[in-house]
């Protein structure tokens, strides 16, 4: 399994609508923070979550969070 690329050293803070989201775990997606299939062949896979209500989400941008797919501040240590 390969290590994820750091997409950015900050979270992607986005207001999301209810629905299903696939968070990019590899860091290679051109549609950050969401998966575009760039992980194929890396051994990494997106994390799919269901959001039940409209809310602001801080998606992990550095791909190092323990609380994946959400930011836990790990980017501050990079």
pLDDT tens track for 23-55: 999 999 999 999 999 999 999 999 999 999 999
Predicted confidence (pLDDT) at residue 2 exceeds the cutoff of 90: no
pLDDT tens for each residue of 66-77: 999 999 999 999
Q: What sign results for the dihedral spanned by CA atoms 69, 26, 54, 18?
A: negative
The residues near 24 (Cβ < 8 Å, ≥ 6 apart) are: 7, 31, 32, 33, 34, 35, 36, 38, 39, 46, 63
- The pTM (predicted TM-score) of the whole model is 0.93
């Amino acid at each position: 399994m390969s290590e994820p690329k750091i997409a950015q050293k900050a979270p992607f803070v986005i207001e999301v609508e209810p629905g299903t989201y696939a968070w990019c775990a590899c860091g290679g997606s051109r549609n950050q923070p969401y998966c575009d299939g760039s992980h194929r062949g890396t051994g990494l896979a997106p994390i799919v979550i269901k959001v039940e209500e409209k809310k602001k989400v801080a998606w992990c941008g550095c791909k190092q969070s323990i609380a994946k797919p959400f930011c836990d501040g790990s980017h501050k240590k990079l």
